[in-house]
Structure 1
Amino acid sequence: MSASYKTPGVYLVEKDAFPSSVVEVATAIPMFIGYTEKAEYKGQSVFNKPFRISSFAEYRAVFGESALMRFTLEDGKVTPPKVRFRLFDAIRMFYQNGGASCYIMSVGPYGEEISEKALTEAIVPFEKEQEPTLVVIPEAVSLESADACANVQNAMLAHCAKMKNRFAILDVYDGYKEPRECISDFREKVTNFLNYGAVYYPWLNTSVVQSNEVTFANVENVDALAKMLTDAVPAEPATKAEQIKAEIDKMAAADVKDEAAVQTIHRTLSVICPNYATIMDLVREQLNLMPPTGAIAGIYTMVDNSIGVWKAPANVGVNGVISPAINLTNEEQEDLNVPINGKAVNAIRTFVGDGNKVWGARTLDGNSLDWRYVNVRRTMIMLEESIKLASKAFVFEPNTANTWVTMKGMINNFLTSIWKRGGLAGSSPADAFEVYVGLGETMTPEDILEGILRITVKVALIRPAEFIEITFQQQQQKS
């Protein structure tokens, strides 16, 4: 430095007083893949492009509204359409349960089919996105078969394992059925990279779709609906019977694309015709039967933001839910939680006086002592990714003791801050983690000649108290 001093005078030199630091990466940024009404931002199409949003209002502005699902009435029963688009309602559930920023990938507009190929291929562009940490595809369960659904879910898990910085949340195909009808099939078909994903069961009876969102426009065969209502119109009083029949005639002749006219007829019929209101409630119940991944992604976000990724996302209430589609007992959950093959399925259960709760925190790799719990896997992802990104600053630095000490101090400071916030187990930092780096400790002379700098980090991660045993016994009277 002194060699550059040639003119007499005063020279200022600034020195960094603080070492480099590790910035904790975000842990709950889901990527949602599915179909939307539109995909347009500032006049440009964003179909098949990852697009970041931070609110449900922003989703609606860019991607539009929900699809018009048209049900068929036959013999007094409501039959759902063959194709069911679920992304819109999954995003609603996400934000109702604490969701924040997320990425949306629209693979196309609403149409006549949901494509396994399109959903699978939409995962690939996210390999270039650093931020997403959760993978959610609600419409995988809308595919025509359990095999097609499993193919998409296996692709999600493979993507997470390849990227090593994200985690998949899965649904059970036909998850509104009893466990014996759908769980074993799921376990047989979802096979690889199990520690990078978790599955939740059963589906949920929600209250997301409101009564004003379901009208006769949601009925495919309006003529059959008109006949059912006409046959049920009471003869007396005559004036009311005539009014009901007049509204039914308007309904049968209405253009379902004229939303204002549809809403006017719908409101009138809902008030004066009890049978119409009953049928609309049946349709709404079908629309409100939803797979849980949207809500679960929101819960992950809420728990991460309020406590930390190290807290298991379980024993948490699910908002916007009336009840699980299947009311599980303790005995039924036993095989879901601790199966022989290790593929744990996290239950959503309802408890009297306590509401609907997520009652499981296991990954699909339930037999692994390392990666059994969701929070353990996701905490390790956060630590690895944070330290990895911070270490990029040292690539091509001299592979000497000065660099080793600097990096060790940086990682120590970061892990100490995580420990202070309750993210690592141990009564002191020494009990919570250890960082090793150095010649003869983590590296050989050959490593240095080859330009390799090795650092070993050991951390004591927090595991949830999944089973709490309290022992009582009698003792003799002492006084």
Structure 2
Amino acid sequence: MQFTALYYPWVEVPGIDGQTRTVPPSGHLAGVWARTDAERGVFKPPANQHLRGDLSLESLLTDDEQGFLNEKGVNCLRAIEGQGIQAVSARTVSSEPDWTYINVRRLINYSTESIKSSSRWAVFEPNDERLWAGLRHSVTSFLTDQWRQGALLGKSPDEAFYVICDQSNNSPQSVADGHVVCDIGVAPVRPAEFVQFTITQVAGQRRRR
């Protein structure tokens, strides 16, 4: 379920015959995902972006309905005054806390495939400390770049991720079997889904400048 995202309601679009048609918003949301990727990166939640095109919603949700659906992992579409139709959440339907958000799941997918692709040179290289050091350098460079872009949490790369590829996880037996093990841990940023402001009136205090 961590690879699944649901959106509601469907959208109404003009058909080629001039008649309004109700269609699932999948194509429009794919455009939002692609636009968010291009403008910010896969680590940015694909939400608070308007769906482009001459659209209207099949039904208008209330705040209570949105809150109920959001808890169920359904991403709601709302018509925001002056901002068009937007997806107002970016959740998967997974019940696992680690995979609640679309951007976290996609960041891990992107990182996994990027690291695999950039490490193909390691196949059939001598399985020794030089290979392990090369893999550590390659993966660390990639993840440091992701941290600099804001994809990983932490004030420094050491807080944002770790890369282990040495004798501690590459035993003589695994080397003899032709296996190279590189353990990687990352701390993805999570969206500020709920923003709370607390305003307090302080009587008798001079205004600070």
TM over 0.5: yes
How far did 1:448 drift?
A: 1.8
* Counterpart in the other structure of 2:80: 351
How far did 1:476 drift?
A: 3.0
Identical-residue share of aligned pairs (%):
36
Mapped partners of 1:368, 1:470: distance in 2? 28
1:449 partnered with 2:176: yes
How far did 1:460 drift?
A: 1.1
Q: Is the 8 A contact 1:348 1:356 kept in 2?
A: yes
Query: Which of residues 320, 323, 329 is equivalent to 2:56?
Result: 323
Mapped partners of 2:171, 2:55: distance in 1? 61
Q: Is the 8 A contact 1:200 1:347 kept in 2?
A: yes
Query: Which of residues 424, 429, 433 is equivalent to 2:152?
Result: 424
Alignment of 1:352-367 (within 5 A): 352-365=81-94, 367=95
* Counterpart in the other structure of 1:199: 6
Query: Which of residues 162, 173, 188 is equivalent to 1:461?
Result: 188
Amino acid at match of 1:478: Q
How far did 1:293 drift?
A: 0.3
* Counterpart in the other structure of 1:398: 126
Aligned length: 206
Mapped partners of 1:416, 1:310: distance in 2? 14
1:435 partnered with 2:163: yes
Query: Which of residues 30, 35, 38 is equivalent to 1:305?
Result: 38
How far did 1:321 drift?
A: 3.9
How far did 1:392 drift?
A: 2.0
Q: Provide structure 1 residue ranges, at least 5 long, that are not aligned to the other structure.
A: 1-193, 215-280
Query: Which of residues 329, 338, 361 is equivalent to 2:71?
Result: 338
Q: Deviations over 1:384-435 (max 9, x none)?
A: 0011122221112111000000110011111111112222222221121111
Label 1:321 to 1:347 Cα distance change in 2 as closer, same or farther (>3 A).
farther
Q: Deviations over 1:347-387 (max 9, x none)?
A: 1111233321111100111x211110000000100000011
Label 1:321 to 1:358 Cα distance change in 2 as closer, same or farther (>3 A).
farther
Amino acid at match of 1:204: V
Consecutive aligned runs of 4 or more in structure 1 exceeding 6 Å deviation: none
Alignment of 1:157-172 (within 5 A): none
Mapped partners of 1:474, 1:442: distance in 2? 57
- TM-score, normalised to structure 1's length? 0.42
Q: Is the 8 A contact 2:119 2:138 kept in 1?
A: no
Q: Deviations over 1:161-210 (max 9, x none)?
A: xxxxxxxxxxxxxxxxxxxxxxxxxxxxxxxxx00111111111224x3x
How far did 1:446 drift?
A: 2.0
Mapped partners of 1:477, 1:353: distance in 2? 39
Mapped partners of 2:7, 2:171: distance in 1? 46
Larger radius of gyration: 1
Mapped partners of 2:127, 2:96: distance in 1? 36
Alignment of 1:75-474 (within 5 A): 194-207=1-14, 209=15, 213-214=16-17, 284-285=19-20, 287=21, 289-339=22-72, 344-365=73-94, 367-439=95-167, 441-474=168-201
Q: Is the 8 A contact 1:361 1:374 kept in 2?
A: yes
More helix by share: 1
Mapped partners of 2:140, 2:44: distance in 1? 22
Q: Provide structure 2 residue ranges, at least 5 long, that are not aligned to the other structure.
A: none
Q: Is the 8 A contact 1:316 1:358 kept in 2?
A: yes
